[in-house]
Amino acid sequence: MTVKERYRQVIEWFKTAMPVAETELRYENPFQLLVAVILSAQCTDKRVNMITPPLFEAFPTPEAMAAATQDDIYEYIKSVSYPNNKARNLLGAARMLVEEFGGEMPSDMDDLIKLPGVGRKTANVMLAVVWGKAAMAVDTHVFRVSERIGLTTNSKNPLQTEKQLCKYIPEDIIPLAHHWLILHGRYVCKARRPDCLNCGLTGVCRYYRRENKEKTNNEI
């Protein structure tokens, strides 16, 4: 099977099995999404969604958060991973939004990654979700699932994965494909024990073929 054929079959399956796919983070505007994504690093979306309602009520705008202290923010987010670092980054990002961007969320990669706590992955989430741009955010789920299925080959880091995926996935569905891979990795192709029995991609999956070949060889 060629790489293009694998991509074609994977995309067709997702279009049928998961026609609607979107972030599970709850937000009402770009600023809230940025805050939620920063908080979600090495933390579950479920935990983030538990703490953001009171956080957003207390600091509904970049201006409101910029006027707070790091300790103020910390009190709302102390149950997430690395709360001190995230409180510092949220405060710094809010102040930069106010001071350098007039309180508006920038819409390009170079400006987004200037914000404290915002790396390429977070910037790509903002570009894809808020503006529908052809940006592929690679988290641990996307990295793992892409390599297992065979959409990427010998990818050493998220940037390599991003480039390989964007080479073969049509631009207009890249934002949707990002969520396909995340949700598939979160609920089916799990890190420790992929649920291959309930996966519709076994016919094209490199991992599944390799695992079953090894089992067959061991039984001989």
Residue numbers annotated as active site: 121, 139
Residue 166 known to bind ligand:
no
Shortest CA distance to 36 belongs to which of 68, 95, 76, 96?
76
How far is C-alpha 58 from the geometric centre of its chain's CA atoms?
A: 26
How far is C-alpha 118 from the geometric centre of its chain's CA atoms?
A: 13
Residue 189 known to bind ligand:
yes
- CB contact at 8 A, 35 and 80: no
Residue 196 known to bind ligand:
yes
- CB contact at 8 A, 124 and 137: yes
As a whole number of angstroms, the distance between CA 88 and CA 70 comes to 6
As a whole number of angstroms, the distance between CA 151 and CA 204 comes to 10
Assigned token pair, 52: 């953001």
Rounded to whole angstroms, what are the CA distances from 31 to 73, 86, 90, 130? Answer: 15, 15, 11, 10
Q: Which residues are annotated as a binding site for [4Fe-4S] cluster?
A: 189, 196, 199, 205
Q: Which residues are annotated as a binding site?
A: 189, 196, 199, 205
